[in-house]
Structure formats: C-alpha cells, structure tokens
Amino acid sequence: MTRLQDKIALITGAGTGIGRAAAELFAAEGAAVLVAEINSDSGAATAAAIEAAGGRAHFVATDVSEPAEVERAVAECVSAFGGLDILYNNAGGATADDGKVTEIPLAEFWRTMGVDLFGTFLGCRFAIPQLIERGGGAIINTTSIRAMKATQGADAYTAAKGGVLTLTKALAQELGEQGIRVNAVAPGVVATERVKAILGDVAANPLARATPLGFGTPEEVARTALFLASDEARWITGAIIPVDGGAAAV
Ligand SMILES: NC(=O)c1ccc[n+]([C@@H]2O[C@H](COP(=O)([O-])OP(=O)(O)OC[C@H]3O[C@@H](n4cnc5c(N)ncnc54)[C@H](O)[C@@H]3O)[C@@H](O)[C@H]2O)c1
C-alpha cells in the first residue's frame, strides 16, 4: 500500500468521521499524518491508532478557526516530518442550530463560517508556502452536496460550503504554475456519528432516500480524498468531486 509513500499530510478534524477514516487510510498508504483536531481525546486517539498499526502520526490540538493555531499545526508538521505535501481541509459540519436565514442564531452563522470557510482559508494560507517549498503538492477541500445543489434549510452551512467550492477553483488557477493541485470533495449524506445524532435514522432522511446509492460511509469519502492526494490525480485541479451516491445527479 504505497499510493502516498514518503508523502506528508496534514488533515484537519481527523479525530472522528471522515477525517479519521482519511488519516488511517493515508497512513496505511505510506503517508506521515499530522492530525489537527480541536478535540484532544479523539485527535490523540487517531494518532495512537495509526502508530499502533505501524504508521507515522503526530497530533496537534488545533482549532482551525484560530490563525495562530493553524500556523502552529503547519509548523509542527514541518518540524516533526520535514515538510508538507498534502493538506486536507476536512474539519467542519453543520449543527442542529443551522436553519433558515431568518431563524439561525447569529453566533451559529459565525461559528460555521469560522470553521468551514475561514478554517479552510487558514489551512491554505499557512500550508501553501510549505507546499511551494516542496516544489508542489495537493490540497483537498471539503464542500458539500448542499453547495452543489444549493439545498434549503441549512443556510449558514450552505453559504460556507459555497465559499469553499469557489475558493477551491480560484486557488487551482492561482497555484497551478507552482505544481499545487487544489480540488474538493463534495459529500452527500455520510453516516458519521455527528450526522446520525442529528438525523436519527439516516436511511429515512429525505436526501438519503432520494439518493440512487443511498447514504455513504466515511471511508468512501476518504478513498476519493486519497485519489485526489495521490499522483494518480496529477492532471486534476479545480475539480469538485461529488462523493454522494449520485445525489448531485438527481
Ligand atoms: N457527514 C456528512 O454527511 C457530510 C456531508 C457533506 C459534507 N461533510 C463535510 O465533511 C467534513 C467531515 O464531516 P464529518 O461528518 O466527518 O464530521 P465529524 O463531526 O464526524 O468530524 C469532524 C471533526 O472535526 C472536528 N472539528 C470541529 N470543529 C473543529 C475546529 N474548529 N478545529 C478543528 N477540528 C474541528 C471535530 O471535533 C470532529 O472530530 C465536514 O467538513 C463536513 O461539513 C459531511
């Protein structure tokens, strides 16, 4: 398993869900993984699981919405592993407080913008100089089916993920000459613990029911991120890849 042999990856929100699946998968494929996670227990557990499986990992407690913390995570990645080749901006997610513009608590709007959009912006801001230093690299951002289809009912999250989608394309244009590819995954309904807690019966959710292949698992998104991170995707940049069981096609 060597699709990321000798690569160094920083994955945000890698304590649970899709981020954890990606951290374990990237490590199993040969990457050293910097786990940047706000929850110290889950972040340390991901790093420990990778090391127990024979991989290389380092955990740094990181709130992606805090510039100094993201800057430190990137710096610790460089000092622990010698550089940075892959940034996977994964941290984020809607909460049950999201909803209609007229009803969302303003604090929830700014929390969502801070984590999903500003957090992605900050990851790119501090990682790009390191990727340039290595002569190129890959950034994988995380948007959503909600941005692909502009679904109603989670307006803060939809706006934040729309920003991530467009930022991904702009960065792809800016960074191509430096050998840096910038793509995004756009998951549909993925049955992570967070989503199960919000939706209850995931299979009964209207979006999941309307999806040709039903709901997905964290590993299915992680596998697409792995492809985008690897040299197999060397001529792909600026792409928004739905990983959604066909939801975006409906
Ligand atoms: N699960 C889905 O159905 C789905 C659908 C579309 C998009 N996504 C996106 O995929 C990504 C991962 O989603 P998930 O379902 O695996 O979520 P999750 O809640 O299972 O995992 C997210 C992780 O990010 C961490 N985190 C939260 N805020 C953070 C912060 N400020 N700084 C650092 N870490 C932070 C959490 O502690 C958690 O470990 C998110 O960006 C989400 O918006 C998920």
Instruction: Tell me the per-residue pLDDT of 109-149, one tens digit each, with 9 for 90 and over.
Output: 999 999 999 999 999 999 999 999 999 999 999 999 999 99
Average pLDDT on 94-100 reads 95
Under CATH, which architecture does the 8-242 domain have? 3-Layer(aba) Sandwich (3.40)
pLDDT at 172: 99
Closest residue CA from atom 30 of ligand 1: 63
Torsion angles phi and psi, residue 90, rounded to 5: -110, -30
Residue 1 in this model has a pLDDT that exceeds 80 = no
* Sequence spans of domains, the chain: 8-242
| 88 classed as catalytic | no
pLDDT at 151: 86
- 169 CB-contact burial (10 Å; exposed 0-12 / middle 13-18 / buried 19+): middle
Q: Which two tokens stand for residue 225?
A: 């991120």
Minimum-distance ligand 1 atom for the alpha carbon of 189? 3
Q: How confident is the model at residue 27 (pLDDT cuts 50, 70, 90)?
A: very high
Provide CB contacts within 8 A for 195, sequence distance 6+: 93, 189, 202
Pocket of ligand 1 contains residue 216 by CB under 6 Å: no
Average pLDDT on 6-16 reads 98
3-class state of residue 186 by DSSP: strand
Average pLDDT on 16-37 reads 98
pTM (2 decimals)? 0.98
